[in-house]
Every structure is written in C-alpha cells, then in structure tokens.
Amino acid sequence: MPLDRNHPLNSLGFAKPPAETRVVVAMSGGVDSSVVAAELAAEGYDVVGVTLQLYDHGAALAKKGACCAGRDIHDARRVAETMGFPHYVLDYENKFQEAVIDEFADSYLAGATPVPCIRCNERVKFKDLLETARDLDADCMATGHYIQRKMGPEKAELHAAADANRDQSYFLFSTTQEQLDYLRFPLGHLASKAETRALAARYGLSVADKPDSQDICFVPNGNYAAVIEKLRPGAADPGRIVDVEGRDLGEHRGVIHYTVGQRRGLGIGGLDEPLYVVRLDVDRREVVVGPKSLLSTRTVPLKEINWLGDAPLTSQEEWHILVKVRSTRPPRAAILRPRGEGQAEVELLTPEEGVSPGQACVFYDPDSSRIFGGGWITKG
C-alpha cells in the first residue's frame, strides 16, 4: 500500500487515519486481548474482534481459567458490545485437533516434552487466523501478547517485552518475518500487568479483574497424563524403572506420568543417592533414572529453525548469542552453529540441566532486547 506522505503514521504504523485502518484483534476473552481491542477502538480504529473456538464447547463450559473456553467467548463478546465493534467466533476445532492436540499427544508419548502453546501460535493463530484477517481486508492483526515489534533499519524486528516478568518471547519465537510484518503487539511496551488491568477498568470492561489463565487450554488442572490417556488409550500401561545400566529398580504406572528431570514420586527410595528421570524409552515402556550429573547438557541439536536476523543464518559459521531452553529460565550465553537447511547446533557455555527434546530453544541478541528466532530441541 503506497504511503500518504501528507499524513503522519498512526499508532499502528500506517499513513492514514485510524478510522480508515482496519485491525483484526485476536480475542481470547482474557484481560490482555480485551484491553488491546478496547484501546484500539477508543483510538478510532476500524476494529473487528475474532475469538477462536478450539475444542469441545460443552467440555469447555465446565472449566474455568483456561483460554478459549465457553465463558471466555462470552467475555470477549461482552467487551465487543461495550466498545461497539463487531465480534465473530470461528470454529477451529478440527484445525486445532490436527495441528496441536494430536502432535502434543504423539510427541509426549515419544518421550518429548511438548509446548503446544507455541504450535498453536505458529499453526493456528498466526497462520489460519492471520489468513482470515487478510480475507477481512484488515491492514494488520493485533494480539494481547507481551512482546514488542519494532521497526529496525532493515525490517520489522521482534523484541522482548518491557516487563521481563510478562515477556512471552519464548512462545513466539516461530513467528516468521512475513507474519511479523502484519502483526502488532500493543501491550509489549507496558511496564507491568497492573497497567493493563488499570486500562481495562478505565474502559469499564467486565474482565478487568479476571484471573490469568495458568493451564494449557485443553489440559485442565495441568493433568497432562489424563488428557494423553484419553487421546491415546493404553498409553498409561505400567512398565519398569531402570537405571542407566539397565538394572531393574521397580515398576512405574505409565511413561506418560513422568518427565525428564523429575525426582519426586518415583517410588524407589532407600538408594544411596537421589535419582532423576534422565530418559523415557517409550518403545520399551521404561523410565530410565540416573544421578543429577547426567541431566547436564552442553550441546543442543535443533531442527525447524526460524531465523529472524538481518543476515542469513548460514552467512556465518557461528553466532555468539543468548538462548533460553525453558520458558522459566533466563537467557544464557551460547554459540549457535548452522548445520544445513533448518538445522543447527547450540553449544551452551554453561551446561544446563533438564534440556528436553520437544522444548524450544530461543535465540536472543546479547546486546539488545531483540529476538533472533529459535528452533525445536531434538534428540542428538
């Protein structure tokens, strides 16, 4: 779209009045996306709210505190009515089942520790929903994620949120450059969640005091095993707990009940040293345990790299960056070495414990808040 040089850029970066700028807001029914929609509507933008129904509506109605449940759809609709913009609910159940839930179950059963929220952003919200936004002739799509989009000298850049405690960059590393050009994150600059709630109260939104969602939306109470067992009958069959030498130490109640790095609940007390889950052998139905030292990892192989740097990833033999291998850990110094198309190896300068296949490894600029993308941890 050609820029109107006679008109200053609006707050979303377009050279035209807000009233002539259509923005689709992805509304989960929570306070963050509600504030984004309300704020943009108040600024005079042509706002269209969209909420995704991702799984069985009847089951969702019975569960509080998870995104996109029936109550959340109702809350999003009320915000739209309060602020006077149209709101639509899209049935994405089949897409969500195929793109997120099935892979979650299969990767968990393969001994990985999946992060379905990343796949949902990558394959549903920032793919299918973004295409819907384009079909609605929207100039951009906005979300309530705590992350920043900044215009750099080369292109739009992804940056960590101003509030490190709310930063969601780990869950958005797979955002492509094309998606980033179209997306907007109006909350990323806020200093705290308290500011967001204050904005919600100012606009008179019913969700101002709504608690944050803590669970994965289709995993009530964080009970992964119950969901996997329902999706994949037989997955909870018992098996043996063995040490790294293969010695039998006892029986477990199903591989799906264990994660790499787990110490508690193994039921194998009375040993000389504490033992941790170091590997899950799904084919043999074995939980392999060993000393804590075996959890330390220095070399992390990656696949499905999404690179957001200015120069191509393969333009250098190695990149000195910071990485996160778990969402709850601070970035640590590392060396990134490309290994062919979409693949790389990360050397952690300080070994980390509990690095697990199926988790993400996210790349950060050591000299700024910029995110250079990331990849999926795979088995070596």
Question: Looking at 67, 68, 140, 217, which residue is catalytic?
Answer: 217
Handedness of CA 154, 367, 181, 99 (dihedral sign): positive
The verdict on whether 217 is a catalytic residue reads yes
Do 39 and 185 contact (CB within 8 A), yes or no? Answer: no
The span from the CA of 76 to the CA of 29, in Å, is 4
The span from the CA of 110 to the CA of 358, in Å, is 9
The span from the CA of 160 to the CA of 215, in Å, is 22
Smallest CA-to-CA distance from 353 within 310, 300, 299, 292 is with: 292
Cα–Cα distance list, 253 to 104, 245, 347 (Å): 20, 21, 35
Outline where the chain has alpha helix (H).
31-42, 57-61, 70-83, 93-96, 102-109, 116-120, 130-135, 177-182, 193-202, 224-231
Question: Looking at 117, 120, 140, 361, which residue is catalytic?
Answer: 120
Cβ-proximal residues to 204 (8 Å cutoff; 6+ apart), any chain: 82
The span from the CA of 233 to the CA of 236, in Å, is 8
The span from the CA of 115 to the CA of 107, in Å, is 10
Place of tokens 């293969």: 246
Q: In this structure, are strands 140-142 and 183-184 parallel, antiparallel, or unpaired?
A: parallel
The span from the CA of 26 to the CA of 126, in Å, is 10
Smallest CA-to-CA distance from 326 within 351, 295, 358, 359 is with: 359
Place of tokens 């009375």: 270
Classify each residue of 336-349 as buried b or exposed e, where b means 16 or more C-beta atoms within 10 Å of its C-beta.
bbbeeeebbbbebe
Do 31 and 205 contact (CB within 8 A), yes or no? Answer: yes
The span from the CA of 21 to the CA of 229, in Å, is 47
Which residues are the active-site residues?
Answer: 120, 217
